[in-house]
Structure 1
Amino acid sequence: MTFQDYFPIWDKLDPRQQNQITSRLVFRTVQKGAVLHSGSLDCTGLLLVKTGQLRAYILSDEGREITIYRLFDRDLCLFSAACILRSIQFEVTIEAEKETALWIIPVEAYQSVMAESAPVANYTSELMASRFSEVMWLMEQIMWKSLDKRLAAFLLEETAIEGTRQLKLTHETIANHLGSHREVMTRMLRYFQSEGMVKLSRGMVEILDAAKLEGLRDGL
């Protein structure tokens, strides 16, 4: 599969515009833990995931992380091209959660095509709106949902993503996703274990009762 198969509006570009992008396209494979973008001053380019998984997160003033969205196969990240969004100061860090193969579309090439292509401009606006919807949803969760509900939702989401109930997650990793402290996560996970919802072992959380987690998540 080539870049053309992954870029959703490739057929809306004329040959010259297509060449503007492909002639400057960069393909990379990064290892788990690699940081691809860091902060609003870093203008990496647009990231289009071929295979793998990326995480976009922000840091609090105290240095705590919180995940704002994930990127999977065929997902395109705009926040890694911060200089396109000059009116938005969004301090996002993007790192690889798994080994990831991706294309980097240089900002200059994308901006040039977007300036003359209504389909690209519309697609960019829709993608940006979608990402901000995810951020607003996250803010609602933080403001209105208790941490135990958010933890239950996270564990269920991870189960769906990984396709297994045996999750290779440290307490610190979970805390980083949810914007909490490792010690708080440890206490909460031990409570979940005492209630028979999970089983804890070193670097592992095994889901024992998904239905009970779903009930907690949904407030039932």
Structure 2
Amino acid sequence: MKNTGKLIFLLMLFAACHKPLKNTGLPFYNTPDFTPLWLSPQDAGYKSIHTIAPFNLTNQLGNTITNKNTTGKIYVANFFFTSCRNICPPIMDNLAKVAQTFENDRRVLVLSHSVTPRHDSVPVLLKYGQTHHINSNNWWLLTGNQPDIYKLARQSYFADDAAGFTKGSDDFLHTENMVLVDAKGRIRGVYNGSLQLEVNNLIAHIKLLEAEKL
């Protein structure tokens, strides 16, 4: 009987150790150090998950773009400038693969924010988009007030990681990061846009979000 009891205990312990995780989807990110949090609607912190702050910018067509345009949409945000000749071209090429993958999917958008908005006016962005065959239906090149863009990038998207969280608009913003935002404006992933493997993961994670019910 003692051996039987031990066997039952060991079987229960094994089952507990191999119990499926409660949350197997993408995590949420509340802080610029990108500490992952797996939360479900039943968890206490679910209602206080970090969301992207309201914004008001202008795209390459001269249309006003606000957070209302992204409500209910999954989107990828990045930060670039049209005269960049080093990290931006390969990142934008990789981002084009994301945009093309979801070209006919109205649930997915790409938002590329200029970090030199004084130079990247609407006509400049329009020409850039035409030169690089950017589809303005699902990929918006955005310009606006520089302090607003930098604050949005660093404090909402955590685009410059923890090191850039408190920097101002006088500190130049230059990052390889692509940030994945879900349909409720919550950060669900960050990816190095210069690496094809990371971009492949980003595409796969967008598909996961499309199937998510949170």
TM-score, normalisation: structure 1: 0.25
**Bigger relative contact order, structure 1 or 2, given CA contacts below 8 A and separation 6+?**
2
**Higher helix fraction: Structure 1 or Structure 2?**
1
TM-score (norm. length: structure 2): 0.25
